[in-house]
Structure 1
């Protein structure tokens, strides 16, 4: 597997996989490329694509288009410049893109958020007034509900940049996705995995989405890398996004746990559509076979409960 800048030419027999250029995105895409090579028997090539979300001068609260981290990747996929796009699933808008399909969701990494602190202090141990870095409305609102004596400091940048800001003392701690730290071999940087009852993870956090053109005959083969359990969990979580009509700045969390044929979904919503804050948890039994519709129905039901006015 090789890496080329966007637009480089190559052998048509090589599957071109579009990815963002961050170290984490390239690592995730390389892992996915290895799985795709196994099921297709074809070599792959990573094509680096710069997205609006990579431009730190563009506020994530007002991106030029929905899905700041994925819109440009989808452009080059639709244009045929790449054959496959690999996304962090939590970055995908809930509305489907005409002409494209998520053909596979590989096995999920850790779904939880993680605290990285300079003095190895857990969330309960941070002194009053400690500066905690995050630009996520979901994380910020949950942190202040749990510890209203903390100061939330907006920080952006890749994983390494945010860890460096903790080490340099610009913030006392930062909240990041545990999956990204683990995929980069930075598990030792994690001070604490945050209980999902304190900060409900983003819908589909830790999962990857493999997207292809709907008319690509190779899609059915690539779909073999799909992980059944992950797909079910992600279907429930992302249906919450759809149900509440979330935007990229909505403080929404959704986290599911699958145990046998039992699916539990926890969701949290803050300051959206007249709801100051709501928290819902429900468990259902799943039908055998393909219970994706059951999972989506659970997500829709939880979304409706989140939007109920007291």
Structure 2
């Protein structure tokens, strides 16, 4: 068995928490194993003054880590699954999906307890088109502003820039010890999460069988099946840039999986939402079938109106 493992990670506090979590689990599982963290700066970490949608959503927080793996400077990389592109570089594999923590979105506000309680025209911060579209569907009066930066930075900006509220992932807040700052976990009826939100992904070289075997104990089958459906949905609808979609899949029992998704216009005026239930064994097909359904029922028209190119099914 390998005596040392190098994990590639971004340097944000949340990324380091995630990498340290995996490192600690590995050390406890394999006595005497040395685990080292290599900090790597990604494009998404460098560009903080431009909304994500304007610089492209694919690989912003993963590409440099993947290069380090292909060059064998690191053995694996730990990501938030929601940051992972649906297509990986040749030679790399999405090896392990950890058990998902709370996948929801959190409202954080110094004055107001719920989304419903926010005053007319309230200033709300988020960097996500997905959140913006769904929030405006529920509250078209909101004044939504782009908010970039890591969790600590966004919490600081909440007060410094006079936001009435900001919206962040529940999992990130809880992992960093900020769970007490959550004012409301926004109901999924209002806001479906991003693909893979709340789960960690471990990426390795495709041919590194030893590392893949060493990581097997961290893999969660239920989360893997659910997120497989979510990623299949996104793979069908995305066209190379950030797409205003939300999707959530969950195992209903040992055999079945439900998948719910939304495609929305950024102003929230047009929201296409539906749900599908089927066998866990067909997780990938379920995600794709739901995508086809939403696209046919108006989702494609929404994306075309936004200038987003939905790939032709025949090109898949």
When normalised by structure 1's length, the TM-score is 0.89
Asked whether the 8 Å contact 1:256–1:264 carries over to 2, the reply is: yes
Query: Residue 269 in 1 paired to residue 263 in 2?
Result: yes
Residue 215 of structure 2: SS of its match in structure 1? helix
Greater share of helix: 2
Show the counterpart of 1:32: 22
* Aligned counterpart in structure 2 of residue 226 of structure 1, from 219, 228, 247: 219
Give the match for residue 23 of structure 1: 13
Match of 2:151 in 1: 159
SS in 1 for 2:99: coil
Change over 3 Å in CA distance of 1:248–1:43 after alignment to 2: farther
Whole-angstrom CA distance in 2 between matches of 1:40 and 1:80: 22
Aligned length: 291
Q: Is the 8 A contact 2:226 2:249 kept in 1?
A: yes
* Deviation per residue, 1:166-197 (Å, 9 max, x gap): 23352110010000001011110000001111
Partner residue in 1 for 2:274: 280
In the TM superposition, residue 52 of structure 1 has moved relative to its aligned partner by 0.5
Name the counterpart of 2:40: 49
> Are 1:107 and 1:227, in contact at CA under 8 Å, matched by a contact in 2?
yes
What corresponds to 1:70 in structure 2?
Answer: 62
Aligned residue for 2:227, secondary structure, equals: helix
Asked whether the 8 Å contact 2:49–2:148 carries over to 1, the reply is no
CA distance in 1, matches of 2:229, 2:5: 31
Q: CA deviation at 1:65?
A: 8.4
In 2, are the aligned partners of 1:15 and 1:83 still within 8 Å (CA)?
Answer: yes
1:112 to 2:104 alignment: yes
Asked whether the equivalents of residues 124 and 164 of structure 2 are also in contact (C-alpha less than 8 Å), the reply is yes
Residues 90 and 204, structure 1, Cα contact 8 Å, conserved in 2? yes
Matched, 1:201 2:193: yes
Post-superposition offset of 1:23:
0.4
User: Structure 1 residues 59 and 149 mapped into 2: Cα distance closer, same or farther (>3 Å)?
Assistant: closer
| TM-score normalised by L of structure 2 | 0.87
Q: What does 1:81-160 align with in structure 2 at a 5 Å threshold? A: 81-160=73-152
Partner residue of 1:5?
none
Shift of 1:25: 0.5
Give the secondary structure class of the aligned counterpart of 2:23: helix
Question: Shift in Å at residue 215 of structure 1?
Answer: 1.2
Residue of structure 2 aligned with 1:300, choices 288, 292, 316: 288
Q: What is the CA-CA distance between 1:95 and the residue it aligns to? A: 1.1
In structure 2, the gaps of 5 or more residues are: 299-316
Q: CA deviation at 1:224?
A: 2.5
Post-superposition Cα deviations, 1:267-298, rounded to whole Å, max 9, x if no partner, equal 011249xx953111112244xxxx3xx11111
Partner Cα separation in structure 2 for residue 197 and residue 224 of structure 1: 34
1:308 is paired with a residue of what secondary structure? Answer: helix
**Maintained 8 Å contact 2:137/2:271:** no
Q: Is the 8 A contact 1:104 1:224 kept in 2?
A: no
Unmatched 5+ stretches in structure 1: 1-11
Give the stretch that moved more between structures: 168-177 or 178-187: 168-177
Task: Give 1:63 shift.
Answer: 3.4
